[in-house]
């Protein structure tokens, strides 16, 4: 004969479920997601429709980026309880992980009706509106989030990024500055603000932010690149080279950076290093600025024929409006007028079937008093 359980005692199977659930959620908080999954899965063999277990399992699966399995867990909960807040939020985050902002929005909007002061979800909603291009609604939601906590880092960063995307750089800087007021060592924000000042033509302010970044992280490639650009702007090419070369100590470098570094070497008269970098870039693939730099190098070496060869390569890919020609011919200087004239004739012959291009080349040549030679 079976003995009755003591009054108030938890039946053994349910007690086991509670134990597994508590341990699973503890592991979830510790980011031990696979171990948590194993415990939730075991608990579901005892209570397959337990919403607390299903949402915990969904959270662990989502953290492992197993989005289809996570979705099934949340869906089962919502089928029985359409307003389960844990499942609404979790399924929204699952769709976010799959870059399905429209589906995520629908779930988070339902959630926020019950928890209107959840700043985390409100910021998620704003992010999603920004993703789908509804900037007006995104701004409203970020403002709502900041109404809950005016110093919330994620809402401030989201709103700053929104203003940046909208081309409102001054507003973007103002909101990024609020983040930096509380977290002054945020490297990514420091470099972003530096770049925003640079784009606004505020080079000295940009330099300040790049220097702050390098004081924290001495090999930050974005700040090193920015500092190189700053000294390039000042035409202090040796200093620009110092910063860009530091990038190459740890990184392969981008085509754009390598071209600027090659240009800097060319401007300091180090033709060999400049040529090496241009050729490395061209070995990666077509790059108009490397070809242009090579043409200028040949001008400096007095080899007009090779300069014309590089110019012809450029024109096989680019449309001439006079800029490429002016950049190259300007390197000849007054003392090499005959070579400049030869380059002009070669370029004009290349475009002989394009009267408008020839007219623009003639205008450039006339500025150098070549057209009448």
User: CA-CA distance, 272 to 62, in Å (whole number)?
Assistant: 54
pLDDT reported for residue 191: 98
pLDDT per residue as tens digits for the range 26-53 = 999 999 999 999 999 999 999 999 999 9
pLDDT reported for residue 231: 98
pLDDT reported for residue 373: 45
Q: Which fold has domain 184-285?
A: 1.25.40
Residues whose CB is less than 8 angstroms from the CB of residue 191 and which lie 6 or more positions away in sequence, other chains included: 209, 210, 213, 220, 222, 223, 226
Strand, coil or helix: what is 200? coil
CA 8 to chain centre: 58
Residue 128: in which H helix or E strand, if any? helix 119-131
User: CA-CA distance, 176 to 189, in Å (whole number)?
Assistant: 7
pLDDT per residue as tens digits for the range 53-63 = 999 999 999 99
In this prediction the pTM is 0.83
Tokens of 360: 């623009």
User: CA-CA distance, 321 to 22, in Å (whole number)?
Assistant: 71
Would you say how long the chain is, in residues? 373
pLDDT higher than threshold 50 for residue 372? no
Residues whose CB is less than 8 angstroms from the CB of residue 332 and which lie 6 or more positions away in sequence, other chains included: 299, 339, 340, 343, 368
pLDDT reported for residue 366: 86
Q: What is the mean pLDDT of residues 202-229?
A: 98
Residue 256: in which H helix or E strand, if any? helix 255-267
CB of 228 within 8 A of CB of 254?
no
pLDDT band of residue 4 (cuts 50, 70, 90) is very low
User: CA-CA distance, 138 to 168, in Å (whole number)?
Assistant: 15
Q: Which of 322, 328, 342, 267 is nearest to 292 (CA)?
A: 328
Return the HEC string of 206-238.
Answer: HHHHHHHHHHHCCCCHHHHHHHHHHHHHCCCHH
pLDDT higher than threshold 50 for residue 326? yes
CB of 209 within 8 A of CB of 191?
yes
Residue with tokens 């199977």: 13
pLDDT band of residue 12 (cuts 50, 70, 90) is low
Torsion of CA 191, 195, 196, 202, to 10 degrees: 120
Residue 309: in which H helix or E strand, if any? helix 304-315
CB of 57 within 8 A of CB of 44?
yes
DSSP state of 31: T
Each domain of the chain, given as residue ranges in start order, spans: 184-285, 303-373
């Amino acid at each position: 004969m079976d003995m009755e359980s003591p009054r108030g005692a938890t039946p053994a199977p349910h007690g086991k479920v509670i134990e597994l659930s508590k341990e699973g959620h503890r592991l979830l908080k510790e980011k031990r997601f696979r171990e948590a999954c194993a415990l939730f899965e075991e608990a579901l063999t005892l209570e397959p429709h337990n919403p607390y277990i299903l949402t915990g399992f969904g959270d662990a699966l989502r953290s492992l980026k197993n989005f289809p399995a996570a979705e099934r867990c949340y869906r089962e909960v919502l089928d029985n309880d359409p307003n389960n807040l844990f499942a609404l939020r979790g399924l929204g985050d699952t769709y976010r992980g799959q870059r399905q902002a429209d589906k995520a929005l629908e779930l988070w909007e339902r959630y926020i009706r019950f928890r209107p002061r959840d700043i985390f979800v409100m910021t998620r909603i704003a992010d999603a509106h920004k993703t789908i291009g509804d900037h007006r609604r995104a701004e409203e939601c970020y403002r709502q989030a900041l109404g809950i906590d005016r110093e919330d880092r994620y809402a401030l960063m989201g709103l700053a990024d929104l203003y940046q995307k909208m081309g409102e750089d001054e507003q973007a800087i103002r909101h990024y500055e609020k983040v930096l007021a509380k977290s002054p060592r945020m490297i990514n924000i420091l470099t972003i603000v530096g770049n925003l000042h640079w784009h606004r033509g505020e080079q000295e302010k940009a330099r300040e932010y790049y220097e702050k970044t390098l004081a924290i992280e001495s090999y930050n490639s974005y700040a090193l690149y920015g500092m190189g650009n700053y000294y390039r702007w000042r035409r202090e090419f040796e200093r620009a080279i110092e910063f860009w070369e530091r990038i190459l100590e740890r990184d392969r470098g981008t085509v754009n950076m390598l071209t600027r570094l090659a240009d800097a070497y060319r401007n300091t008269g180090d033709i060999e290093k400049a040529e090496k970098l241009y050729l490395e870039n061209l070995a990666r693939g077509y790059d108009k600025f490397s070809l242009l730099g090579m043409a200028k190098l040949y001008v400096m070496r007095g080899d007009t024929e090779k300069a014309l060869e590089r110019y012809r390569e450029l024109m096989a890919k680019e449309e001439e409006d006079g800029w490429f020609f002016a950049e190259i011919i300007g390197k000849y200087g007054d003392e090499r007028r005959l070579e400049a004239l030869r380059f002009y004739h070669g370029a004009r012959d290349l475009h002989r079937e394009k009267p408008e291009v020839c007219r623009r080349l003639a205008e450039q040549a006339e500025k150098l008093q070549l057209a009448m030679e």
